[in-house]
Structure 1
Amino acid sequence: MGFGKGCHLHLIDGSAFIFRAYHALPPLTRKSDGLPIGAVSGFCNMLQRYIEDNAGPDAPTHVAVIFDHSGKSFRNDLYDQYKANRPPAPEDLKPQFPLTRDATRAFNIACKEIEGFEADDIIATLACQARAASGRCTIISSDKDLMQLVGDGVEMLDAMKNKRIDREGVIEKFGVGPERVVDVQALAGDSVDNVPGAPGIGIKTAALLINEYGSLEDLLDRAEEIKQPKRRQTLIEKRDQIELSKQLVQLDCDMALDFTLDDLEVQDADPEKLLGFLAEMELRTLIKRAADKLGVEAPSLPEPALAAAEDASAAEDIPFDAAKYEWVKDRAALDRWIAAIYKRGYVAVDTETNSLDEMVAELAGICLSVEPGEACYIPVGHKKGASDDLFGGEELQEDQLPLTEVLDALQPMLEDPAILKIFQNAKYDCKVFANYKIAVTPVDDTMLLSYALHAGEHNHGMDALSERYLNHQPIPIKTLIGSGKSMITFDKVAIADALPYAAEDADITLRLWQLFKPKLHRRQVSTVYETLERPLVPVLAQMERYGIKVDRDTLSRMSNAFAQKMAGLEAEIHELAGQEFNVGSPKQLGEILFDKLELPGGKKGKTGAYATGVDILEDLATEHALPGLVLDWRQLSKLKSTYTDALQTHINAETGRVHTSYVQTGANTGRLSSTDPNLQNIPVRSEEGRRIREAFVAEEGKALISLDYSQVELRILAHIADIDALKEAFRDGRDIHAMTASEVFGVPLDEMTSEIRRRAKAINFGVIYGVSGFGLARNLRIPRGEAQDFINRYFERFPGIRTYMDDTKEFAKTHGYVQTLFGRKIHTPEINAKGPRASFAYRAAINAPIQGTAADIIRRAMIRMPEAIKDLPAKMLLQVHDELIFEVEDSAVDATIAAAREVMQGATEPAIKLDVPLIVDAGRGANWAEAH
């Protein structure tokens, strides 16, 4: 039938289908002859699903899959840097491009591409032809560049979200209607396609300008009317660039095509041709599915092809309740697993131990998996239960290979650089193996893969990842070991019960790896994972094993001193309150503050007691002295309970040292956190907090040295926000806080007081965290109005910071993430929320590129450090925010400082050349307090 009124054309964005298919399936999906077919498999599945979903009364009458032609388009003639930043296609994807065209033809769907033009131009021309012929057109794509076509019978469908995009959807995305999308895009540019646009103008600002002036041409003609100087200058000076950008984003709706809409009429698939192609690709599951739909018998595959097809779809085809988990009881079974590992080239590994403390953990068993749905558990230390020590210890359960035999057999494989070992939280398992003198390498870590891909979206523990991405809830550990006082260690669990739990861990790890690893390239975070996450694992593991010496007597003396000072503060608090009460009781404190002293802002919770949290007390401290004293008392109480008392329990009995455990995924920005004990949050603003560091000491004949980045986040802000005054001050080595105080408060440098400088310092660091007048008032314990005046003056003096904040928020709202200078993506899922959640998300988005870049810089330094100090009698022990702590023989202190400083100050290079120098302060001493 001829295309006209009543006809419905579907245009499928073929390239989008291909890349989505490639990154959705496990890596190394190949035919029996070695040809990669992961993208082809996914592409065919998507076409089959499309056909099944569009078989109803609103089925299209005409359909085509439109592809980009390899090579350059006419836009490269206009601008030779167009799409210049795009990375080349992965090597294993390149041979699959022509096969996706073959697949489209096998399904008997029109397949179109034209040399010199992009798929978007073909789609634009066909959509406009359909509109002119009074028909309908649905573009199956989420590509924002195609949104300029929406309206008058043309709509888009985001197949991934099953969401239709009409005129209102375009306005929601761009802030303008489809007819003005190209104007907004011309101003905002496009970093993906390397469209230059107008520097400093994003989507939101562009939409405001276009809505105000009507069109891009009118805006440019009236640019002199723009009030903002920088924006006005940009529009005037960059007019040619902006007009070129419009040419680049404007789709060609009038191409000369060698086919017509009538040639795109829907045709039934030829069963022989379709099934023949699917059989050639060895797509076993899809052959059966397509044959069922066509009502014909599925062809059989030859044995090698069948095996390869089963392997390619194993992760998808094998549900967890059909998984095969083996209890390895003898050497023959163990050798069979080792042989399978060498044949495959990679293995998922998990350890089961009798303790979460890697320094003392002993192996209960080892889990292995090389195929989804198949795993084994090798028990080596399961005991029948505690027995009287008089009888020589605990008896082992039956059917376990000797620990030494298992480790001797596995060690060559675990240390073989040709075999990839895959873990969930690799650092823990590697430290456990290190207890047995096994140095595991190389490793992949699904926890870190998830972190590189999804930072800010969710946590990265195995159970959460399994439920979210595999739709499977793992066996809870509590069902095996119990909880509370009745909890047992894993080595006391019966092996038959331990088997499904332990083997499942390795199986899940392998499936997650197959899902996550190929996504790194697609999400453009391969460099983050390969240069910032994976190589840090062995560095942190070695630091944790070294530990740092802590003097128990010093901690004990501090505890006593803190107790005495707390008693003194209690007396002052009682005097101000006019009565004695339990300062540690929030209920009694609330009654004193709001009932007796009648301070403002008292709010009762569900229990009927007043809220007395830190935020409330900090706010009240600007009104009355008592809340401030309570905060001081609470800080001392925390120092005593969390550090001077608790640290003593963390001193390892054998080493005399504290061995903290670093968490790479603890903060969305890339900052490390530490646990057992937490050494990242020792308060250093108070004298008492700083004194805690006196208990961290060097061994006899050695010293501790501290190297600390000086004001690194402010330096990064100066670079990212392009603040000339700040950059110049850093390059000249000036006191940045004094300079800020002079600029904001109008005080000459020679009249600067410590109090004025302190306030400027609070503002300098506060803006990095999006501080409000309310927050600054709390920090400085001054009235809120005065604090807001300080911030207003600050932004007037440094307007580029406000521009950075606005642009960053806009980027986050548009893309759903922000980025560090090194490409780390921190997702901002709450950025479009309402109310307090949005305010928090804004502050986090502003801070994340700065704090995240600082975190990336010190990670890069840590990764390079072992090589830099390998010939020195020095060990890197701790990382605390922007500081690294080393223990060094006295004779090598100066050499170590020089080597470490060179690494730290050059950590951004060669990847990035900052506009300001990185400066590292160094100190030495018998303890941490002296060194810093």
Structure 2
Amino acid sequence: MSSKHLYLVDGSGYIFRAYHRLPPLTNRHGTPAGAVFGFTTMLWKLINELHQSDGPTHLAVILDASSKTFRNEMYDQYKAHRPPPPEDLVPQFPLIRDAVRAFSVPCIEELGLEADDIIACYSEAALAAGWQVTIVSSDKDLMQLIRPGLDLLDTMNNRRLGREHVLEKFGVEPEALGDVLALMGDSVDNVPGVPGVGPKTASELIRTYGNLETVLASTDQIKKPKLKQSLIDHADNARLSRELVRLKCDSPLPEPLDGLELKGLPPEPLRAFLEDMGFKSLLSKIQGDGPATLPGGGPTMLALAPGAEEKPAPVVEQVPFNHKDYETVVDEAALDRWIAEGFACGRIAVDTETDSKDPVRARLVGVSLATAPGKACYIPLAHVGDGLLSETPTQIPMAVAIAKLKPLLEAPDILKIGQNIKYDMVVFERNGGIRVAPYDDTMLLSYDLDAGLGGHGMDELAKRHLDHACIEFKTVCGTGKSQISFDKVTLDVATEYAAEDADVTLRLWQRLKGRLASEAATRVYELVDRPLVPVLADMEMAGIKVDREELARLSAEFAGEAARLEALIHAEAGGPFTVGSPKQLGDILFDKMGLKGGRKGKTGVYSTDVTEMERLAGEGVAIARLVLDWRQITKLKSTYTDSLQGEINPATGRVHTCFSMAVAQTGRLSSTDPNLQNIPIRTEHGRRIRDAFVAEPGKVILSADYSQIELRLAAHMADVPALKDAFARGDDIHALTAQEVFGEVTRDTRARAKTINFSILYGISAFGLSGRLEVSRAEAQDMINRYFARFPGINHYIAATLDQVRSTGFTTTLFGRKTHLPWIKSAKQGERQSAERQAINAPIQGTSADIIKRAMVRMNPALAAAGLGDVRMLLQVHDELVFELDPGQVDAASEVIRSVMAGAAEPIVELSVPLGVEIGTGPSWGAAH
């Protein structure tokens, strides 16, 4: 690969972003200059950041020379509906060209060509010369150019756009994008397209028939009458549209490629321009008279004055933590200064302080911001004195601060960086109506890079990556009865604690974000986890209604059942004892009753864990089965029917679970307060708890559940023809396994086959299977051998997966999610075997988790597009999604939900088995499931 890397900046996009981003300003001559100032700041930031990460060797800014091009000769209505530029923007165009030249960067434009065409010409020439090319834009037309060696840099959302982005957004490869754009048209540019054909239909047509011409030649095969007729009637417009969106790649280059080389950027031209414009804040950042050089040897833009806000971000270790440098912001002028700095930097770390861990109940107490390592502040908003005689400290009024922060936190071109930012999103939405976007989450960055290598909480990440011990919450607020809420913490202590959070978050982001591409984690972060954050935030705020009376009735019933079981246990034991005491139970079982096989731990107490009790129950020991039943019923009572009543939010009458994205190692979501993932569904008592989750009056609950998704994925990933064919036909997969392994299908063999099907995916041993099926170890091993003989692909998959994890230390899902298993080479057999079992299951369970996450991200837009925007997605539990909706919406919503879930893997992954989705409805979750 060539060391030459050309960056082409779509200057027109920069201009309009700058114009709309800043309020009207004038320069010292009285000329409008808001867009000029914004453009200059953005270009300055871009060049500095590029040199820190992937410095260009060549760079140019490309502009539109005029509004008329060769496309207007082709079609006189092209861009005819575009309004003229704002009056105060017109005189700024020449000043922006001066700004580019002041950076000693080529400013290229050509009459008769659009900026996109010039970019295309330079891209083709550079690629032909073996260079890398990056286009600084997110324009869909320019996405046609993406190929190996060329990507787009979307500075608004701080991400690189490659082939996967085009596949995700449009469903086709970049080289087919022009055909999709031609079919769908463009109302902004007045590209006619084909009426009635939107992005989804256009991509489906191109995927099915190949290109625009083959689509137009295949109308006889199209089943939808309206679509067919529209394609016939508007074929000429489609062909015209194809030429309008086609980028011109063969025009002579206005400047030779070598003329775009960055040789170092002397500050003098820029100093003169800034002085003439009167941009004092930018002018104050320049120092020195010659070009500076980064440590890596590449030319940087210029040297900056000490303390300047846009200086290259230092390596985090070089900036010591000094909590006394953090600022407490208690007046509007200081807040305005921090907000302006956030806009100038283009990214800002943000964190909230509240009076509760529950974001749906929490009251906002303060906000912390960080713009650079070591540069952070805390904005107290609702602190009160601690005690009757304490005075309330001076603070900016909540409404004023929220109104000022809202434009920054919602600005589409300012990246907000948070640690578990979902919590902050909920708090900002509830306390100020703020929809935080765009965003990065350091917790998710760590999770997608290092799942299995440690926790992803901020304190642990700070220690691991920054070698820094964060201030502990308990040292600020105390513990136990003496603990105070954060609103009672003094401002000096609160500032050190809260501002540190934002500071650490920014430093972690600098460490982690750059690893995504090199460690192949971009896909799972950008296309699976990051987009899910606001979806989960909305689900948490929605909550689900719980019938308190039903819970109370179940609690009373479970208490009676527990008492009955306890009496039976005492009868078996020959006297009363505390059933919940492991020591007393062990003494009864192994000393008093003389049962064999008891084993004591280091404390001298007999083990009575679930494995031991199931062993005894399997041997026919009645008291062991009774104890297992007692444990289950008392756990259901304490964990769910009792505690759920306390979880009901008094303001909403609903339970608002918190979905955790970075706990389960395989990518699955977990939930807390309450934990809805572990409600047992294999027992009647467990299933009845779901009956207490109900719809609001006039609504119904809809449950959509993937059918045997892990078995289907195993059939695809292990490439097992017999299983794939069976799923395609809709056969009973457990009956098929029973026939293959046992030679007949009976109720018993099907039940055993079902156990085998799922157990094999979890890497079960003959010992484990023998326990589940209550057969000898030799019989269990024989079943496993027969299973692998009938389905050899599964055995090959297991062997290949174990080889991979032993070689690399991690497994991957079909979407690239890594699960690190550091114990795979452990000298301890137990640890090693546990890691092997996880390795076998992680790619399958992780892919399943990725798929349902993608379905969740796509669900609300799909429902809204179908006119079902008020259908609410409430819960996700393993392979199931739960919704609340009007009864009259069930049929239409079911069709959309099934379609989204069945196609969630596409276009990134094309599965060779269909994804089945089972849908049920009812007045409660239990009735719908």
The alignment status of 1:411 with 2:406, answered yes or no, reads yes
Q: What code does the residue aligned with 1:36 have?
A: L
Cα deviation, residue 771, structure 1: 1.2
Paired residues of 1:422 and 1:445 also in contact (CA < 8 A) = yes
Distance change in 2, residues 1:308/1:662 (3 Å): closer
Which residue number corresponds to residue 125 of structure 1? none
- Correspondence list, 1:60-79, <5 A: none
- Correspondence list, 1:272-671, <5 A: 281-283=292-294, 303=304, 311-313=312-314, 315-321=316-322, 324-385=325-386, 387=388, 397-435=392-430, 436-625=432-621, 626-671=623-668
Distance change in 2, residues 1:762/1:70 (3 Å): farther
Which residue number corresponds to residue 742 of structure 2? 745
SS in structure 2 at match of 1:473: coil
Cα deviation, residue 811, structure 1: 0.2
Separation in structure 2 between the aligned mates of residue 32 and residue 664 of structure 1, nearest angstrom: 32
Distance change in 2, residues 1:316/1:843 (3 Å): same
Measured against aligned partners, the alpha-carbon deviations of 1:867-921 in whole angstroms (never above 9, x if no partner) come to 1222223100000000000001111111111111111011111111211111100
Paired residues of 2:350 and 2:416 also in contact (CA < 8 A) = yes
Cα deviation, residue 360, structure 1: 1.4
Measured against aligned partners, the alpha-carbon deviations of 1:577-609 in whole angstroms (never above 9, x if no partner) come to 344332211112112222234333311123221
Structure 1, unmatched stretches of 5+, are 1-12, 16-27, 44-68, 73-84, 94-278, 288-300, 388-393
Distance change in 2, residues 1:593/1:496 (3 Å): same
SS in structure 1 at match of 2:825: coil
Distance change in 2, residues 1:86/1:460 (3 Å): farther
Separation in structure 2 between the aligned mates of residue 861 and residue 91 of structure 1, nearest angstrom: 26
Paired residues of 1:323 and 1:374 also in contact (CA < 8 A) = no
Paired residues of 2:542 and 2:656 also in contact (CA < 8 A) = yes
Separation in structure 2 between the aligned mates of residue 29 and residue 424 of structure 1, nearest angstrom: 28
Distance change in 2, residues 1:302/1:904 (3 Å): closer
Measured against aligned partners, the alpha-carbon deviations of 1:794-838 in whole angstroms (never above 9, x if no partner) come to 222222211111110110011111111111111111111121111
Separation in structure 1 between the aligned mates of residue 694 and residue 826 of structure 2, nearest angstrom: 48
Paired residues of 1:737 and 1:757 also in contact (CA < 8 A) = yes
Cα deviation, residue 629, structure 1: 2.3
Distance change in 2, residues 1:774/1:576 (3 Å): farther
Distance change in 2, residues 1:409/1:309 (3 Å): closer
Distance change in 2, residues 1:681/1:837 (3 Å): same
Which of 815, 820, 827 is residue 813 of structure 2 equivalent to? 820
Paired residues of 2:862 and 2:900 also in contact (CA < 8 A) = yes
Cα deviation, residue 14, structure 1: 13
Distance change in 2, residues 1:761/1:334 (3 Å): same
Which of 747, 755, 759 is residue 766 of structure 1 equivalent to? 759
Separation in structure 2 between the aligned mates of residue 303 and residue 890 of structure 1, nearest angstrom: 64
Which residue number corresponds to residue 907 of structure 1? 904
Separation in structure 2 between the aligned mates of residue 516 and residue 42 of structure 1, nearest angstrom: 22
- Correspondence list, 1:237-252, <5 A: none
Cα deviation, residue 561, structure 1: 1.2
Which residue number corresponds to residue 676 of structure 2? 679
Measured against aligned partners, the alpha-carbon deviations of 1:182-227 in whole angstroms (never above 9, x if no partner) come to xxxxxxxxxxxxxxxxxxxxxxxxxxxxxxxxxxxxxxxxxxxxxx
Separation in structure 2 between the aligned mates of residue 302 and residue 786 of structure 1, nearest angstrom: 76
Distance change in 2, residues 1:86/1:614 (3 Å): farther
Separation in structure 2 between the aligned mates of residue 33 and residue 850 of structure 1, nearest angstrom: 43
Separation in structure 1 between the aligned mates of residue 417 and residue 659 of structure 2, nearest angstrom: 19
The alignment status of 1:36 with 2:36, answered yes or no, reads no
Cα deviation, residue 551, structure 1: 0.4
Separation in structure 2 between the aligned mates of residue 860 and residue 302 of structure 1, nearest angstrom: 45
Which residue number corresponds to residue 859 of structure 1? 853
Which of 841, 844, 851 is residue 850 of structure 1 equivalent to? 844
Cα deviation, residue 674, structure 1: 0.1
Cα deviation, residue 34, structure 1: 4.1
Separation in structure 1 between the aligned mates of residue 907 and residue 47 of structure 2, nearest angstrom: 41
Which residue number corresponds to residue 161 of structure 2? none
Which residue number corresponds to residue 921 of structure 1? 918
Which residue number corresponds to residue 6 of structure 1? none
Distance change in 2, residues 1:325/1:468 (3 Å): same
TM-score normalized by the length of structure 2: 0.68
Distance change in 2, residues 1:31/1:332 (3 Å): closer
Distance change in 2, residues 1:399/1:464 (3 Å): same
SS in structure 2 at match of 1:757: helix
Q: What code does the residue aligned with 1:712 have?
A: I
Q: What code does the residue aligned with 2:763 have?
A: G
Cα deviation, residue 71, structure 1: 5.2
Q: What code does the residue aligned with 1:758 have?
A: A
Paired residues of 1:29 and 1:37 also in contact (CA < 8 A) = no
Distance change in 2, residues 1:302/1:539 (3 Å): closer
Cα deviation, residue 786, structure 1: 3.5
Paired residues of 1:417 and 1:442 also in contact (CA < 8 A) = yes
Cα deviation, residue 569, structure 1: 2.1
Cα deviation, residue 660, structure 1: 0.2
Paired residues of 1:29 and 1:38 also in contact (CA < 8 A) = no
Measured against aligned partners, the alpha-carbon deviations of 1:122-141 in whole angstroms (never above 9, x if no partner) come to xxxxxxxxxxxxxxxxxxxx
Cα deviation, residue 527, structure 1: 1.4
Separation in structure 2 between the aligned mates of residue 920 and residue 336 of structure 1, nearest angstrom: 53
Distance change in 2, residues 1:501/1:380 (3 Å): same
Q: What code does the residue aligned with 1:727 have?
A: K
Cα deviation, residue 549, structure 1: 0.4
Which residue number corresponds to residue 801 of structure 2? 808
Q: What code does the residue aligned with 1:401 have?
A: I
Which residue number corresponds to residue 99 of structure 2? none
Q: What code does the residue aligned with 2:399 have?
A: T
Paired residues of 1:619 and 1:781 also in contact (CA < 8 A) = no
Separation in structure 1 between the aligned mates of residue 455 and residue 638 of structure 2, nearest angstrom: 28
Distance change in 2, residues 1:543/1:315 (3 Å): same
Which residue number corresponds to residue 239 of structure 1? none
SS in structure 2 at match of 1:334: helix
TM-score normalized by the length of structure 1: 0.68
Distance change in 2, residues 1:42/1:86 (3 Å): closer
SS in structure 1 at match of 2:367: strand
Measured against aligned partners, the alpha-carbon deviations of 1:363-388 in whole angstroms (never above 9, x if no partner) come to 1111011111100101011110355x
Paired residues of 1:706 and 1:886 also in contact (CA < 8 A) = yes
SS in structure 1 at match of 2:598: coil
Cα deviation, residue 313, structure 1: 2.1
Separation in structure 2 between the aligned mates of residue 645 and residue 306 of structure 1, nearest angstrom: 57
Cα deviation, residue 756, structure 1: 2.5
Separation in structure 2 between the aligned mates of residue 519 and residue 323 of structure 1, nearest angstrom: 31
Structure 2, unmatched stretches of 5+, are 4-41, 58-127, 132-145, 155-289
Distance change in 2, residues 1:766/1:386 (3 Å): farther
Cα deviation, residue 575, structure 1: 3.5
Cα deviation, residue 35, structure 1: 7.7
Separation in structure 2 between the aligned mates of residue 893 and residue 651 of structure 1, nearest angstrom: 27
Q: What code does the residue aligned with 1:794 have?
A: Y
> Matched residues, percent identical?
53
Cα deviation, residue 783, structure 1: 4.2
- Correspondence list, 1:670-819, <5 A: 670-747=667-744, 749=745, 752-753=746-747, 755-819=748-812
Distance change in 2, residues 1:537/1:303 (3 Å): closer
Separation in structure 2 between the aligned mates of residue 781 and residue 606 of structure 1, nearest angstrom: 30
Distance change in 2, residues 1:283/1:641 (3 Å): same
Cα deviation, residue 41, structure 1: 9.6
Separation in structure 2 between the aligned mates of residue 484 and residue 478 of structure 1, nearest angstrom: 9
Paired residues of 2:310 and 2:345 also in contact (CA < 8 A) = no
Paired residues of 2:331 and 2:396 also in contact (CA < 8 A) = yes
